[in-house]
Amino acid sequence: MSNNMNDPTSPREDDDIPFREMNRKQKITTVIIITALLTMAAGILFGIYFFGMAGLFNIFGVQYDSLLSLAIFVISVFFLGIIADFCFLVIYVILIPKINNNSTLLILSILVETFKNWLVLFTVDEFMGSISLALHTEWILAFILALIEIAFNDEKLDNWKRKDVA
């Protein structure tokens, strides 16, 4: 076989090489790059979540001892929220197929998400002494977070609705 660049059957340097066929240096470089990209993406998401929560706390006058306590609060809310999402998923799976009206579905979603977010905020607030949220502030924050979550997860509700109809 010749190394002619015009020959379509000859291997080119810019072709993708499967991971299994890479040498050790290429594999390490690939893993480091992917890890760095994932770390940056996670950092950006955490930054958005952190500064969003800090902004909401500033708007509602919530006092916290330090940025570290705010970071712990945000991380706790984030991870407890993931667990709560899985628990409340059961409610969605049971109720969504039974609802035919989109406005009823939207209202129910807002109510369920608001309650779930309040439960998470309340739980983390009770365990942390360095941040103190008033009850009405918890409910307002829970409602705002619910609206944001529904805005980003609207496709998921539509997909579940279509699966039942089809």
Helix, strand, coil percentages, rounded to 5, for the chain: 80, 0, 20
pLDDT for position 142: 95
* Residue at 6 is within a domain: no
In a domain, 4, yes or no: no
pTM of the model: 0.72
Instruction: Round to whole Å and give the CA distance between 65 and 83.
Output: 26
What is residue 166's predicted lDDT score, i.e. its pLDDT?
Answer: 44
What pLDDT is recorded for position 6? 57
Measured distance CA(88)–CA(86) in Å, rounded: 6
Which domain covers residue 103, as residue numbers? 19-165
138 and 125 in contact (C-beta within 8 Å)? yes
State how far Cα 161 lies from the chain centre: 22
Within a domain: 143: yes
**Residue 147 counted as domain residue:** yes
pLDDT in tens, the chain (166 residues): 445 555 555 555 556 778 778 888 888 888 999 999 999 999 998 888 889 888 989 998 888 888 899 999 999 998 999 999 999 888 888 887 888 888 888 898 899 999 999 999 999 999 998 888 899 999 999 999 999 888 887 665 555 555 544 4
In a domain, 5, yes or no: no
pLDDT of residue 161: 55
Q: How many domains does the chain have?
A: 1
Q: Classify residue 11: in a domain, yes or no.
A: no
